[in-house]
Amino acid sequence: MTRLGFVVNPIAGMGGRVGLKGTDGLLDEARERGAEPRAPDRAREAIAAFVEREPDATVLTAGAPMGADAVRAAGVEPTVVHEPPTSPTETGGSDTRETVRALLDRGVDLVLFVGGDGTAVDVATVVEEDGGETPVLGVPAGVKIYSAVFGVTPADAGRVAATYDDVAAREVNDIDEAAYREGTVRTELKAVVQVPVTRAVQSGKQLASGSVETLAAGFARGIDPDRTYVFGPGGTVGAIQEELGADSSPLGVDVWRDGETIARDAAESEILEAMEPPATVVVSPIGGQGFVFGRGNHQLSPAVLGQADEIDVVASGAKLDALDVLRVDTDDPDIDESLRGWMDVRTGRFTTRMIKVV
């Protein structure tokens, strides 16, 4: 019988939609900006998918709000190995690490965790200290998802946890959030752990390089002065903004209209306030992973996408060559479904390529 270890970082991802690009050290500010917890819903979705396939499994976890509540919601009474503070905002990395130590002491077959790269580092550090043999799998809930240890969606992670046959070594990376907020991506390898092998587990993020000048020039040439443009983060979209002479934030979301940046490095609420119809959201997929929405751009929420009448995806040919498909993970199943199918991606001044969104 499977013995699953399950741990939830209940505040993971809270900084995303309010424009903080992470929650490390900024929980109070995130709450002041109106941030809502994201991880609990994702935890319930993941554990429900697991229990559907392994109804007789033993699930070991931390007390509410770090796992037990989600497990009980799935109809299973868990074995609680650590009692964290009852308030989600009082929990921390030490609770994650203590829970994982207790899970490993009790011989779990897999550690399924809910969070982002910071949580992945906490989990992987303890697993490495224990010898590194126990596999781990992440349920994506954080703002930063650079590591190659996460399921593509929460439901995918739950399914993989119940059905995987083999594991392979994967990297756990994290970034300097302070530098990230200033527009610099500074990644660091933190650990190497065993992860289930399946296409439902995402690859690590590649930092794509290469010229996108022709793409930017082509996009700028077709700008409609009567349209609002919501520019997502990343170097490819940043090149378009540079071509337009916009005051851009390299890793934030900016709203631009008729030669003027209306909102820079904007949170979800600021984007919604600045958007005037007609509106276009401009994004580029993450290299190596293919995510268009749901990784690093949570400000582009379902509400924002619902106000846009047009979505433009841009990417260099080299970036698309490394991707089989594009992916979406917006927290809204209806919007995700509406985006799936074949999409025309701009790759140059005049060129486009069709690629499937799954």
Residues 228-281 have pLDDT tens digits of 999 999 999 999 999 999 999 988 999 999 999 999 999 999 999 999 999 999
Question: Is the Cβ–Cβ distance between 332 and 302 less than 8 Å?
Answer: yes
Choice among 77-86, 134-143, 200-209, 344-353 with the minimum mean pLDDT: 200-209
pLDDT of res. 195: 95
Residue 1 binned pLDDT confidence (cut-offs 50, 70, 90): confident
354 CB burial (10 A radius; 0-12, 13-18, 19+): exposed
Using DSSP's 3-state secondary structure scheme, residue 34 falls into coil
List strand residue ranges (DSSP E) for 205-340, in order.
Answer: 228-231, 254-257, 260-263, 279-283, 291-293, 310-313, 327-328
Residues 60-97 have pLDDT tens digits of 999 999 999 999 999 999 999 999 999 888 899 999 99
pLDDT of res. 187: 64
Distance CA 148, CA 247 (A): 33
Mind spelling out the 3-state secondary structure of 40-82?
Answer: HHHHHHHHHHHHHHCCCCEEEEECCCCEHHHHHHCCCCCEEEE
Domain assignments of the chain as residue spans, ordered by start: 3-196, 213-357
Q: Report the pLDDT averaged over residues 163-191.
A: 74
Secondary structure tally for the chain: helices H, strands E: 13, 16
pLDDT of res. 217: 85
* Mean predicted lDDT score pLDDT of the chain: 87
Domain with residues 3-196, CATH architecture: 3-Layer(aba) Sandwich (3.40)
